[in-house]
A and B are shown apart, each in its own frame.
Chain A
Amino acid sequence: MEVNANAFGRNARKALLDKALQVALGRTTERFLAHRDAAVAAFPEFEGTRERASRIKLDVLDHLDTYLLRFIEEAEKRGAIVHVARDAAQAREIATRIARDEGVTLAVKSKSMASEEISFNEALQGAGVTVVESDLGEFIIQLAGEAPSHIIAPAVHKSRQEISSLFERHLGGPRTDSIPELVGMARRHLRAKFLSAGMGVSGGNFLVADTGSVVLVTNEGNGRLGTVLPRTHLAVVGIEKVIPRMSDLPTFLRLLPRSATGQAISSYVSIVTGTRRAGDPEGPERMHILLLDCGRSAILEGKYREILKCVRCAACLNVCPVYQSVGGHAYGWVYSGPIGAVLTPLLVGLAEAVALPDASTLCGACADVCPVKIPLPDFLLELRSDIREQGLKTPGEIAAMKGYAGVMQRAGLLEAIERIAGVLGQFFTKGKGIGGLPYPFSGWTERRDFPAPAALPFRKQWKIRRGVTR
């Protein structure tokens, strides 16, 4: 997917003015959060499970090479063919080669964020293979020619009326406002694809090293259909998704659905291992696993390695005041919210996503909900400092911050400025807010007034109050 992360400011402004998007975002994040909070409250073992999951993931990061080799060995022992792609270009090349060698003309795909990283669909379509997204949300945005705006609810920004128009145009369905009817139309259309596709493409929520299994978690059941019915199964998964043992899986299954949708478990968990066995009445004869490095091993060597613990639950999106306001598209790449603000610069390069680490209030809510305890706010701060060190800030920003730091370090100077600002502020604004400032300050005053400086600065008031109360 093309990176457009440095347009964050412009995209965010557009999102803020989009009334329909604002309604959809409010509804989605609020519901996900309420359900998540209820599920966590009903599960007293949550904290302990979170701690265990974090420890398992840290162990994986320490021994990623060992666990990956074990995974590959076990998967191949059971008939899978494992490929490793260094970067997106190589991944696309391998994926198209697999499709060509398997004689595939139609592939039906369940959700895979990793595949978005490498522009999987475009690559296969370029090689003459039709790729149909089968997750309902992904299917809708594929028809609309858009990108996902939320990790687990990719079409949150679409209304039922828009979806009905899309289905009318692409599936020939009658117009309807009934959501069950719309779901039924997609079901019938996609069922035919499942039954005729030569290849099922999936992502993978977990890779189990000691059994060579790929684990898929879905609510719709599309991951199941696509990994049972077609002759070939291709799983596209990031290398960091490996967990050591099958016995570790329940720990993560207790955290992921609760954090994502607030369910104790998702409707379907499929654990698929190798190809169909002799005597199996169905199941793929061929299984390919395409492991993506695509920048991950570089992250592993640096100070942000813990970002690779992420299980893509999207709890940090729902809880983030910035995501709640601007939605996923503003972030300009595959991942959005706090995880996107950290992961995107690390995967595509800091210069390509300079705007993202600033897309946070550093309120810390993301760290509070993260089921694997990733220190997201610390990483955001650290990235801001990297941006400064690598000379990626504009001279204006650097000068402004230097000036600010200079004033804040000199108490006398600060006091003098406060006094002058207080007098001028009262005189010019009559105690009301300041509005309509010119660029670059218009960023503050365009949509709200900047509060007028108080006649008596806070520090003065504080001194007086202490004097009075003591």
Chain B
Amino acid sequence: MAPEGDRVALFAKTFTAADGILLRGPVESALSDLGEVLRAEGVTALFFPEDDATAREIAEALVPFGPFNLTTGAEIRGGSAAVTAGFRTAEAAIAETGTIVETSGSGKTLLPGLIADVHVSIVAAASVVARMEEALSAFTADSPRNISFLSGPSRTGDIEQTLTVGAHGPKKAIALLLD
């Protein structure tokens, strides 16, 4: 198995190649960069899973960086006109393909990566695996209802073969990489 540093470096490369935005470094500067990206997208509402302490912490720390309100997935699902950013801790990331792995395991909600306009995945460097096989081997015994591989933003080429983001899912896919 490649050392963690190599895996993380490869993930940074492949995630960016998949049109994802990778933010890392000291939390302070990463937060200010993230705030800037969200403001540029017109984001005004942030939400995160109730039981995801890290996602909550990041979202709350972002509030001073822009005119952002905290809201809930249920509220967004109920119909909200606001431009939203959904925060969630990733279960794993795959270096080979630049993929964020999110599952419905242990009762976690998928809404932040599903219905938000911008998705912010919080990725622990130690959770980056080299290949897809390693990410999947964790689930062979008892698979959750949903295992999702997310690699970059939602996109379509269905109109005149012109690549356009935000067909149904997030228009921007951001990974916040924490050591």
Contacts of A158 in B (CB 8 A): 159
A160 contacts B159, CB within 8 Å?
yes
Most chain B beta-carbon contacts within 10 A, residue among A78, A249, A273, A275: A273
B133 at the interface (CB under 8 A from A): yes
Q: A261-B157, A281-B107 are in contact. Are A272 and B18 (CB under 8 A)?
A: no
Most chain A beta-carbon contacts within 10 A, residue among B111, B137, B158: B158
* B125-142 with Cβ < 8 A to chain A: 131-133, 136-137, 139-140
A263 vs B170: C-alpha distance in the bound complex, in angstroms? 18
The total of chain A residues at the interface (CB under 8 A) is 68
Q: A274-B145, A276-B145, A277-B104 are in contact. Are A135 and B158 (CB under 8 A)?
A: yes
Q: A195-B79, A282-B110 are in contact. Are A160 and B140 (CB under 8 A)?
A: no
Contacts of B132 in A (CB 8 A): 249-250, 253-254
A172 to chain B, nearest CB (A): 18
Most chain A beta-carbon contacts within 10 A, residue among B17, B77, B114, B168: B168
Q: Can you add 4 more A-B contacts, CB < 8 Å, to A183-B166, A210-B140, A264-B14? A: A24-B160, A179-B164, A220-B154, A265-B99
Q: Which of B18, B156, B162 contacts A220 (CB 8 A)?
A: B156
A282 vs B153: C-alpha distance in the bound complex, in angstroms? 22
Query: Can you list 13 A-B pairs, Cβ within 8 angstroms, ordered by A?
Result: A136-B167, A163-B159, A183-B159, A211-B140, A220-B155, A221-B170, A229-B114, A263-B18, A269-B151, A270-B146, A273-B145, A277-B104, A282-B109
Q: A27-B160, A134-B168 are in contact. Are A275 and B150 (CB under 8 A)?
A: no
B 54-78 to A, binary, CB cutoff 8 A, 1 in contact else 0: 0000000000000000000000010
A220 contacts B167, CB within 8 Å?
yes
B 93-127 to A, binary, CB cutoff 8 A, 1 in contact else 0: 00011110000101111110011000000000000
B77: nearest residue on chain A (CB-CB)?
A195
A282 vs B149: C-alpha distance in the bound complex, in angstroms? 18
A159 vs B18: C-alpha distance in the bound complex, in angstroms? 27
A154 contacts B136, CB within 8 Å?
no
A163 vs B159: C-alpha distance in the bound complex, in angstroms? 8
B29 at the interface (CB under 8 A from A): no
A219 contacts B17, CB within 8 Å?
no
A50 at the interface (CB under 8 A from B): no
A 243-269 to B, binary, CB cutoff 8 A, 1 in contact else 0: 000110110011000000101111111
Contacts of A268 in B (CB 8 A): 148-151, 154, 169
Q: How large is the interface on B (under 10, 10 to 19, 20 to 34, 35 or more residues)?
A: 35 or more
* B17-47 with Cβ < 8 A to chain A: 17-18
B5 at the interface (CB under 8 A from A): no
A 204-219 to B, binary, CB cutoff 8 A, 1 in contact else 0: 0000001101000001
Q: Which of B107, B136, B155 contacts A247 (CB 8 A)?
A: B136
A129 at the interface (CB under 8 A from B): no
B78: nearest residue on chain A (CB-CB)?
A195
A253 vs B18: C-alpha distance in the bound complex, in angstroms? 15
A294 to chain B, nearest CB (A): 27
Contacts of B17 in A (CB 8 A): 264
Contacts of A210 in B (CB 8 A): 140
Contacts of B96 in A (CB 8 A): 264
B168 contacts A191, CB within 8 Å?
yes
Contacts of A279 in B (CB 8 A): 106-107
A136 vs B159: C-alpha distance in the bound complex, in angstroms? 8
B170: nearest residue on chain A (CB-CB)?
A221
Contacts of B169 in A (CB 8 A): 220-221, 224-225, 267-268
B71 to chain A, nearest CB (A): 16
A184 at the interface (CB under 8 A from B): yes
A266 vs B155: C-alpha distance in the bound complex, in angstroms? 9
Contacts of A14 in B (CB 8 A): none
Contacts of B146 in A (CB 8 A): 227-228, 270-273, 283
B83 at the interface (CB under 8 A from A): no
B148: nearest residue on chain A (CB-CB)?
A270
B159 contacts A155, CB within 8 Å?
yes
B148 to chain A, nearest CB (A): 5
